[in-house]
Amino acid sequence: MAEPIYLLLGIHHHQPVGNFDSVFAMAFEKCYRPFLEAMERHPAVRFSLHHSGPLLDWAIEREGDYIDRVAALVKKGQLEILGGGYYEPILPILKTSDALGQIGMMQKFWEDRTGVKPRGMWLAERVWEPSLAGLMNDAGIDFTILDDQHFRHAGLSQETLFGYWRTERSGKAVSIFPTDKKLRYLIPFKQAEDVVNHLLELQRKHPGEAVTYGDDGEKFGVWPGTYEWVIEQGWLEKFLSGLEANSDKIKTLTFAEYMSMAPPKGRVYLPTASYSEMLEWAMPAEAIIEYESTKQAIENAGLWEKASPFFRGGFWDNFLTKYPESNMIHKRAIYASDRIDEAEGAGKKLSDARKALYRSQCNCAYWHGLFGGLYLNYLRHALYHNIIDAESAVEAATEKNGPFAHAKITDLDRDGFDEAILSCRDATVIIDPQAGGSISAIDWKPKRFALINTLARRFEAYHRPKEGHAGGGDKALPSIHELGKDLGDLRGELIYDSLPRYAFLDHAFDGEPDWKSIAHNKHRDYASPCFAGFRITSSGEKGGFAHATLSATAPCSGGGELAVEKRYVLKDSGQLSLDYKLSCDGGMKPPMWFATEFCFTMLAGHDKDRYYLWNGVKEDDVLMDARRVVKDVALLEAVDRAFGFKVGIKADADMMVLAPIETVSQSEKGFDRMYQGSTVWFAWKPSWATSGKTEISVGIEIKNI
């Protein structure tokens, strides 16, 4: 009798830090618990399971005996736990110490509950870099699971991708299991008997080999339509029963069990990679369009199967260039990590700060593809909340009681130019000279709230017109990757920004501003200080305040130059002031209007608990998505009763305009218009002195309510 095929099932359960409680509850109800219960009913089916840290934290608090039931299956020998970075980070972009810390945190969690330290790990988004071999080895990890496409990019043929392979970096070796792509696309979208028949065909062709399935557990109940198909209509039950009925030909094992009975296939060195869609999404939008066009031409020529191993997209780290907002979160987390390391090196105990740091490294809000990711403001908020929490813990442990204020000049975002970081007990302000001397961050520490957590509107490849489709062929259920819709009415909402959505980006006009053009980013500045590279001329701290002064000169379209000096002062109370000194030479033509743009977020555009006041007066419909042009307002206040604070802005301007910042983005369900922040333009018609100089002041005060 021919040997069986060995089936290695690796299932990955994950929800991101910051996802809604209702989503966690739904996922456990419709997916994670039903999946576990099905496995309990089929004890002959062995499998390996990974839970990310956010799920484990939730389960401990909200899901009763769930963790105990998982541990019971481990002790019975049916289940092997897969480890990983606890809060599901992209490990290669972390400091080595943080990556090892995250892996160790997951190992300790399961060793404490099962007595077994995970030997294998799930790699977030299957993002592989060769350096990970050394990192995994140092962490005591023996193996991981990657797509077969990773191996194909290294030149291996599909027919060789069974069992496991060895790789190393600097002599530190680990094992890698290649998944079977066809299985990933069949499960659970084909009939259960069709999947079993595919495995039986593999057994006939490759008896004694091991085939790996590794994919998201959400396919078994969370993805659109899967709960009805997989759980209610019994797909999972049929599949497991089919495996049991054919156990003489299809034998399930855990990864560790298979490694104990079979040697590796050989040595392999894999290039940087992830799954194919991720490598496509990481590229600039224009490159994605060229990629898809070239891919289509290859497919039309009937050469895709041969060409696909040599046809790759980008590199995960390119998301940090594609989306500066992602880079800012990443570099803020690294800065927080450095501060924790420094404080711990001085003998401070900061375990809570380090855990908050690890939560801020959860990968989902760092990138965008088919899922909302970076475009979901509540996920970005959760990462910033934890960064601010970590930094506040450091300050609580290291600062003396009473007021403090600091100014630090450093290249925070690693672009080769310094930023100014002003901090006090209640607030942190980051000033970016290369972004028009604007403010890229205002953190209100008492509420752990990042006020400038905004997102610029930018062109995405999926914005171009194309026909949608909803799967087809002989699949019983369309895969999430096959769902598509055209933008429809949202096409008229496409507006693209030429600047980041920061605070105090400056503009000059040769007449009264046309706010309709400004709202659609079609305005033309007479002078554009926001595009000028500012330089920091002075900074420091004195008494209870920190300060930084920046200056730049912007050419005017009508001739001459506009010189701008901006002096920021942050008081320990959290009050921020900005004083402008403007001067122009004789080449400028009057009258000139000067405007500054203040972009910020309250996370919800149309919520009765977030609204504007002007001169202390509230109107019913003036929420954060309001579109208004107003005059005679000396004090504008943005109130957030949901988080319990308000932002007051004193800017005795001649005119203000209020507008929301809304993006059009792709998700697994189609397209969404999403609130990313609000913008307030303050405009003055300065009275220029005979010397061609004038001064303007703006004050910001944040208070808890």
User: CA-CA distance, 359 to 87, in Å (whole number)?
Assistant: 6
User: CA-CA distance, 623 to 678, in Å (whole number)?
Assistant: 10
Token pair for 94: 């972390």
Residue pair 135/96 in contact by the 8 Å Cβ criterion:
yes
Residue pair 44/79 in contact by the 8 Å Cβ criterion:
no
Q: Determine phi and psi for 350, rounding to 5 degrees.
A: -135, 45
Helix axes 324-345, 96-114, angle to 10 degrees: 80
632 Ramachandran zone, left/alpha/beta (phi>0; psi -120 to 50): left
Residue pair 609/642 in contact by the 8 Å Cβ criterion:
yes
432 has catalytic annotation = no
Per DSSP, 128 falls in state B
SS (H, E, C) 188-212: CCCCHHHHHHHHHHHHHHCCCCEEE
- Quote the longest CA-to-CA distance of the chain: 101
User: CA-CA distance, 395 to 408, in Å (whole number)?
Assistant: 15
Number of residues written out for the chain: 705
- 184, 310, 332, 337, 340 from 450: Cα distances, Å: 39, 43, 12, 18, 20
Q: Select which of 194, 209, 216, 701 is catalytic.
A: 216
Residue pair 155/121 in contact by the 8 Å Cβ criterion:
no
User: Which residues have CB under 8 Å from 509's CB, separation 6+?
Assistant: 523, 525, 526, 592, 593, 595, 683
Token pair for 177: 């299991």
Instruction: Give the number of other CB atoms < 10 A from CB of residue 297.
Output: 11
Q: Select which of 125, 391, 395, 460 is catalytic.
A: 125
Q: CA angle, corner 152, sides to 89 and 270, nearest 5?
A: 50
Residue pair 220/226 in contact by the 8 Å Cβ criterion:
yes
User: CA-CA distance, 682 to 578, in Å (whole number)?
Assistant: 13
Per DSSP, 632 falls in state S
- Pick from 63, 141, 61, 145: nearest CA to 106: 141
User: CA-CA distance, 31 to 456, in Å (whole number)?
Assistant: 35
User: Which residues have CB under 8 Å from 173's CB, separation 6+?
Assistant: 133, 137, 166, 167
- Pick from 453, 498, 523, 464: nearest CA to 675: 453
Alpha carbon dihedral 544, 546, 547, 548, in 10-degree steps, equals 170
What is residue 522's three-state secondary structure? coil
216 has catalytic annotation = yes
- 202, 547, 569 from 446: Cα distances, Å: 59, 21, 20
Residues catalogued as catalytic: 125, 216
